[in-house]
C-alpha cells in the first residue's frame, strides 16, 4: 500500500504537544511512520520537498528533509502535471504549476507558463 502524508501531517510531531488532540495526531503520524515496510510505503513528492524548504525553522526542516530524502516512491511527474492541469481547469490556483516550474522547468508546455 502506498500512503501520502501532506506536510501538515509530517510536521505534526513538532507542534506543541500540550493539547490532547495534537498529541494523539502526533502519535498517529509517528505510528504510521514507524510502520513503514515493504507492504506500507510512503509517497514523497516534489511539492513536499519544496514546502519543507520554505520552513523557517532549520532544525525541523533538516529532520523532515532526512525523511523526504529516503529513497521511496516519488509521484510520477507526468501524472502530477496532468492532474494539476485538470485541477486548474476546475478553477484551482496554480501553486502546483509554480512547484513544477521551479523544480522541473522543462516539463511544462510553453502555453502553460506562469
Distances (CA, A) of 28 to 31, 35, 95: 5, 11, 28
Mean pLDDT score, 61-88: 76
Percent of the chain with pLDDT over 70: 74
Instruction: Look at the alpha carbons of 79, 105, 43, 26 in this order and tell me if their dihedral is positive or negative.
Output: negative
Residues 29 and 61 in one domain: yes
d(CA 93, CA 35): 35
Residues 58 and 65: their CA atoms lie apart, in Å, by 10
Model pLDDT for residues 24-49, shown as the tens digit of each residue? 999 999 999 999 888 988 888 777 88
The DSSP letter of residue 30 is: H
Q: Which domain holds residue 46?
A: 2-68
Check whether residue 56 and residue 26 sit in a common domain.
yes
Whether the full predicted model's pTM is greater than 0.75, yes or no, is: no
Q: How many structural domains are present in the chain?
A: 2
d(CA 61, CA 49): 10
Amino acid at each position: 500500500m502506498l500512503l501520502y502524508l501532506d506536510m501538515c501531517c509530517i510536521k505534526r510531531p513538532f507542534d506543541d504537544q500540550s493539547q490532547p488532540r495534537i498529541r494523539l495526531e502526533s502519535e498517529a503520524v509517528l505510528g504510521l511512520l514507524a510502520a513503514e515496510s515493504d507492504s506500507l510505503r510512503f509517497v514523497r513528492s516534489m511539492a513536499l520537498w519544496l514546502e519543507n524548504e520554505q520552513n523557517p525553522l532549520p532544525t525541523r526542516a533538516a529532520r523532515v528533509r532526512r525523511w523526504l530524502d529516503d529513497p521511496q516512491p516519488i509521484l510520477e511527474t507526468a501524472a502530477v502535471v496532468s492532474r494539476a492541469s485538470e485541477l486548474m481547469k476546475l478553477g484551482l490556483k496554480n501553486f502546483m504549476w509554480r512547484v513544477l516550474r521551479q523544480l522541473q522547468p522543462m516539463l511544462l508546455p510553453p502555453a502553460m507558463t506562469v
